[in-house]
Amino acid sequence: MKFRFLLSASIMLALSACGSGAEDADGEETEAAAQAQAISVRVARVQTGDIQSWVYAQGTARAGEREFLSFESAGRVAYVDPRLDEGDRVRRGQVIAYQQQARAEAGVANARANLAGARTEVAVAQANQREAAANLELAQETFERYRQLLALNSASEQEYDEAEARLAQARAAKAKADAQLASVRSSVNAARAQVDEAQVSVSESRIVSPINGVIARLNIEQGRYFSPQTLQTGSESGALSTVPVVIINPSFFEITVQLPAFERDAIEVGSEVLIDAGGSTEATGQQAAERPGIGSGRAPGLAVSDYAVGGRVTAISPSLDPERRSFQVTIRSNSGSVRLQDGEFVTTWIAGREATDTVIVPYDAIRFEDNAAYVFVYDPQTRVARRTAIQLGLQGIEGVAVISGLDAGTPIVTSGVERLSDGDRVRRIGEQRRRSGSRTGEAQ
């Protein structure tokens, strides 16, 4: 009897053990099934920090100094420096080309001859004036003597009258000599003007670099005929293709951009500017496009240190364009100018407002619906993602400042948000590996 009792107890314990094992197995299977249906995401805790906003704009980079040089009159191009081509450096005062000089130089020679003749006439007129002045002085002395003699009854009335007549003649001769001298001096001035005009004609038939720079365009050839009527100055592209010589100084560039009126208080003269030129615009535009709801260019797509070209705001127009309701901002490059090209279309980001010690959310964590921003907050107890509305502030390279809706340290989904809906069960990437390792350790 005792043996039967012990046997029955053993069987019951075995069955009980089997039932417990089955329940554990069912629980693990249920948990595994739930995890299999969960959406894999990455989770990070919200951080605080400083954020720098940026104002986006586009414009055309132009060399700080640009000289459009042309001949003033029609004529055959007699000389173009054969050592020069587009891209070559020139120094200030260097002759680049000139038209036939014979007529202009003959004009200069003739004007100089006229000037020499006028100067000779001035010398003669000055001599005549000195002679007339001496005669006048003598006539005055003679008249004074006869006046005194007449008072003493030592001279006759006739002698006095003759002395007075000679004085009048001397005065008239002196006035004539003065007028003649003034006339020939005017002739000298006119001759000098003719020389200057002739020299201008010579200079206008020559193209000389007014600055130290680089030849950007060379649109003339030796032996070809040039006419000012061929110039197209109504547009920049037309001028660049028709003006004989264009010289630029590429040591610095200026960029003019238009900003909307509401950005006026965001920037100031001296604000730092990041300039995207020659290669990274497409990449940064793609990165901006991958930020749902965040417009392209709202923040630079690269770190500040990755921008090889930088500048500063040098001028801000105080008036608005009445049609576009925008104002003009001038930017001057101060680093990396060698990477810019004259006429290149560039993207710029101007340093704007700043916020310190604020909650910052990465761009990838933000979603939008009806222009309202939200994120998914992760609940580590239930492993569920909950949609949470937030109010955004400044946008920077680091992310977007959050004005309200999130506290520092809150765990949010940063990757995989595009597949989530409110209340979805999620699996943190890397979490399953840690849990498996933990169970393995417990088994050991």
Which residues, listed in sequence order, are joined to residue 69 by a DSSP beta bridge? 245
Nearest to 367 by CA among 409, 408, 424: 424
The fold of the 101-203 domain, in CATH, is Helix Hairpins (1.10.287)
- Boundaries of CATH 2.40.30.170 in the chain? 40-62+252-432
The fold of the 71-99+205-243 domain, in CATH, is OB fold (Dihydrolipoamide Acetyltransferase, E2P) (2.40.50)
DSSP code, position 396: B
Contact in structure between 217 and 240 (CB atoms under 8 Å): yes
Contact in structure between 39 and 419 (CB atoms under 8 Å): yes
444 residues of the chain, pLDDT tens digit each:
444 444 454 445 444 544 555 455 555 555 555 555 788 999 999 999 999 999 999 999 999 999 999 988 888 898 999 999 999 999 999 999 988 765 656 666 777 777 788 788 888 888 988 988 998 899 899 888 888 888 888 878 888 888 889 889 989 988 998 898 888 888 888 877 776 666 555 566 789 999 999 999 999 999 999 998 999 989 989 999 999 999 999 999 999 999 999 999 999 999 999 999 765 444 444 444 444 445 445 677 777 888 889 999 999 999 999 888 999 999 999 999 999 999 999 999 999 999 899 999 999 999 999 989 999 999 999 999 999 999 999 888 878 999 999 999 999 999 889 999 999 999 988 665 444 444 433 333
Q: Rounded CA gap, 260 and 140, in Å?
A: 85
Judging by DSSP bridges, how do beta strands 367-369 and 245-260 pair with one another? unpaired
Element (H, E) at 435: helix 431-443
Query: Residue 253 is encoded by which pair of tokens?
Result: 């560039």
What is the pTM for the complete model shown?
Answer: 0.63
Q: Kindly list the distances between the CA atom of residue 387 and the CA atoms of 39, 41, 48, in Å, as whole numbers in the listed order.
A: 15, 14, 21
Q: Count H helices, E strands: the chain?
A: 6, 20
DSSP string, 247-302: EEEEEEEEEEEEEEGGGGGG--TT-EEEEE-SSSHHHHHHHHHTSTTS-TTSS-SS
Judging by DSSP bridges, how do beta strands 426-428 and 372-379 pair with one another? unpaired
Contact in structure between 30 and 422 (CB atoms under 8 Å): no
What values do phi and psi take at 145, rounded to 5? Answer: -65, -45
Query: Residue 44 is encoded by which pair of tokens?
Result: 């990070």
- Boundaries of CATH 1.10.287.470 in the chain? 101-203
Q: Kindly list the distances between the CA atom of residue 228 and the CA atoms of 1, 72, 236, 244, in Å, as whole numbers in the listed order.
A: 132, 7, 16, 10
Query: Residue 84 is encoded by which pair of tokens?
Result: 């020069």
Work out the angle between the directed axes of helices 102-151 and 157-204 (0-180°, nearest 10): 170
Contact in structure between 348 and 273 (CB atoms under 8 Å): yes
Residue 350 makes CB contacts below 8 A (sequence gap 6+) with: 54, 55, 57, 259, 266, 267, 271, 272, 273, 313, 329, 331
Contact in structure between 391 and 382 (CB atoms under 8 Å): no
Q: Rounded CA gap, 411 and 380, in Å?
A: 9
Nearest to 255 by CA among 274, 279, 238: 274
Residue 334 makes CB contacts below 8 A (sequence gap 6+) with: 252, 310, 311, 312
Q: Rounded CA gap, 74 and 220, in Å?
A: 13
3-state secondary structure of 320: coil
Query: Residue 378 is encoded by which pair of tokens?
Result: 């992760």
Instruction: Look at residue 287 in the predicted model and tell me its pLDDT.
Output: 47
- Boundaries of CATH 2.40.50.100 in the chain? 71-99+205-243
DSSP string, 44-85: EE-EEEEEEEEEEEEEEEEEEEEEEE--SS-EEEEEE-TT--
3-state secondary structure of 321: strand
The fold of the 40-62+252-432 domain, in CATH, is Elongation Factor Tu (Ef-tu); domain 3 (2.40.30)
Amino acid (1-letter code) at residue 221: E
Instruction: Look at residue 288 in the predicted model and tell me its pLDDT.
Output: 44
